[in-house]
């Protein structure tokens, strides 16, 4: 009898996301009867996810064995693939804190999960837990592949590579394929007819090529059409999913840099010093920048997830459509040897020669029975390299703080953040970081806790 793969899902209380990833996997013939281990620290949400996963398996005719675990190492034992999706501290209190304290200093944000003080604090809360997963993996499933869907993606990937270089890992995001779909929609071109190549870092990668396949088999560069459509006011078209988030920031940057970035305008606005400025409400209005977007989105998503989870509990069967996530494609390629190409976040190791070797790069990767193999890009255009480096500075210092348990580097990271530095002076930055460390005290490693310093004094 052929051995079935074991898929472990850490953070399985994220029922809807778990449903998408596991549903994708069970639709693939080679993974249809995989063993599924669901792990979460919340027994109630874990029980809900178990019910949903069971109905999912029945709907798809799967013989999958589904187990639930409150113990992380137990869930990981013998895993072939480890999917991670969690948010340390949750929307409340952690995300709310990441917005409200900076706002007191006049520092406004949109998403705050990748860069800036919000990204730094989220990385500080998150990386120690990812490291604990890696430590357990080294003991009970050292050959498994870690598929992590956790922000701040670049900081997490970098930190794992620094401390656990033996772990086979990839950070996964849907921004590349998602943005390609958005641009295809603006251009009224079927997504299947688009060819693109993207590279950079997570949430700041750029389409180096964006082309349309012609009837004669040749390809036409679509960048002139995108620039023309923006300048004529035809692009971006109204948002198909969130009217609060028009795509104007990215189109504006296309006209300045010559390349389109792969993460949304609401994200990009806070990775740079150009769009959110005190006293410049005209910029907020002109580019449709949705301040405090992530907290609003969290409230909406939590309500939506509750409704969906309730529907899943009542339903006898759960209909499944293939999602745009890469996880099942990776699992299938590794397990069967059938090749695929994904965009993944890995240690750069010279893939992008104009960026540091040790940073976390987002590049096209070939996946087959040999695992995840990143492709060579070479130098990025110098203007893209320069902008990306401003974000890498913050990531590098945050990782240095974590690896060396050096609290001072957290202040240095905030000091180097483009948006923070454009708005606040040094005293404000130091005081704001102090306030955030105190507020997040329960979620921090001991070395980062200001309360520990007070006690030892």
Positions at the binding site for substrate: 151
Measure the N-to-C terminal CA separation of the chain; round to a whole number of Å: 63
Joined together, the tokens standing for residue 123 give 């990385």
Give backbone dihedrals phi and psi of 122, rounded to 5 degrees, phi first: -65, -40
Q: What is the dihedral angle through the alpha carbons of 213, 340, 357, 407, rounded to the nearest 10 degrees?
A: 110
Q: What is the C-alpha separation between 72 and 43, in angstroms, rounded?
A: 13
Cα 379 to Cα 118, 208, 353, 363, 383: the distances in Å are 30, 11, 5, 13, 11
Q: What is the C-alpha separation between 395 and 414, in angstroms, rounded?
A: 10
Cα 309 to Cα 10, 47, 295, 325: the distances in Å are 18, 11, 21, 20
> Residues marked as binding?
151, 173, 203
Among the listed residues 174, 212, 267, 412, the single catalytic one is 174
Residue 91, Cβ neighbours under 10 Å: how many?
A: 15
**Beta strand spans in 309-403 (E):** 340-347, 360-368, 371-374
CB of 32 closer than 8 Å to CB of 331? no
CB of 33 closer than 8 Å to CB of 66? no
Give which of 382, 381, 385 is closest to 393, Cα–Cα: 385
69 has catalytic annotation: no
Q: What is the CA radius of gyration of the chain?
A: 22
Element housing 125 (H / E): helix 116-140
Residue 370, Cβ neighbours under 10 Å: how many?
A: 11
**Beta strand spans in 91-193 (E):** 145-148, 168-171
Task: Give the burial class of 162: count Cβ atoms within 10 A of its Cβ; 0-12 exposed, 13-18 middle, 19 or more buried.
Answer: middle
CB of 211 closer than 8 Å to CB of 198? no
Q: What is the C-alpha separation between 373 and 168, in angstroms, rounded?
A: 11
Q: What is the C-alpha separation between 205 and 360, in angstroms, rounded?
A: 11
Q: Which are the catalytic amino acids?
A: 174
């Amino acid at each position: 009898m052929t051995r079935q793969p074991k898929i472990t899902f850490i953070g399985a209380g994220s029922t809807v996301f778990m449903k998408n990833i596991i549903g994708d996997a069970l639709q693939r013939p080679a993974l249809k009867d995989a063993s599924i281990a669901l792990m979460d620290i919340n027994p109630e949400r874990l029980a809900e996810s178990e019910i949903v996963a069971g109905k999912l398996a029945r709907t798809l005719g799967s013989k999958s064995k589904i187990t639930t675990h409150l113990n992380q190492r137990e869930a990981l034992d013998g895993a072939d693939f480890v999917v991670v999706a969690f948010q340390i501290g949750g929307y409340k209190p952690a995300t709310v804190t990441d917005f409200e304290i900076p706002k007191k200093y006049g520092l406004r944000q949109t998403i705050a999960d990748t860069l800036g003080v919000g990204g730094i604090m989220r990385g500080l809360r998150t990386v120690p837990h990812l490291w604990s997963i890696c430590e357990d993996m080294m003991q009970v499933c050292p050959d498994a592949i870690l598929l992590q869907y956790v922000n701040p993606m670049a900081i997490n990937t970098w930190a794992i590579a620094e401390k656990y270089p033996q772990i086979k890992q990839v950070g996964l995001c849907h921004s590349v394929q998602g943005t390609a779909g958005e641009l295809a929609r603006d251009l009224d071109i079927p997504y299947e007819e688009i060819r693109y190549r993207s590279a950079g870092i997570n949430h700041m990668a750029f389409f180096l090529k964006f082309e349309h396949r012609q009837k004669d088999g040749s390809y036409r560069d679509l960048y002139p059409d995108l620039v023309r459509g923006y300048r004529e006011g035809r692009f971006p078209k109204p948002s198909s999913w969130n009217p609060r988030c028009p795509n104007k920031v990215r189109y504006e940057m296309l006209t300045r840099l010559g390349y389109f970035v792969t993460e949304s305008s609401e994200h990009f606005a806070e990775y740079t010093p150009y769009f959110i400025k005190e006293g410049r409400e005209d910029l907020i209005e002109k580019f449709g920048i949705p301040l405090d977007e992530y907290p609003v989105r969290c409230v909406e998503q939590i309500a939506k997830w509750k409704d969906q989870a309730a529907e899943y509990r009542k339903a006898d069967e759960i209909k499944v459509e293939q999602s745009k996530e890469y996880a099942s494609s990776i699992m299938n390629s590794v397990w069967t040897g059938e090749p695929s190409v994904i965009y993944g976040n890995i240690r750069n190791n010279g893939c992008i020669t104009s960026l540091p070797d040790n940073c976390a790069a987002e590049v096209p990767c070939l996946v087959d029975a040999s695992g995840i193999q990143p492709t060579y890009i070479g130098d990025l255009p110098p203007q893209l390299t320069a902008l990306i480096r401003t974000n890498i500075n913050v990531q590098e210092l945050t990782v240095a703080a974590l690896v060396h348990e050096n609290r001072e580097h957290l202040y240095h990271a905030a000091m180097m953040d483009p948006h923070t530095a454009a708005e606040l002076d040094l005293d404000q930055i130091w005081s704001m970081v102090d306030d955030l460390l105190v507020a997040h005290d329960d979620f921090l490693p001991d070395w980062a806790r200001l309360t520990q310093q007070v006690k030892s004094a």
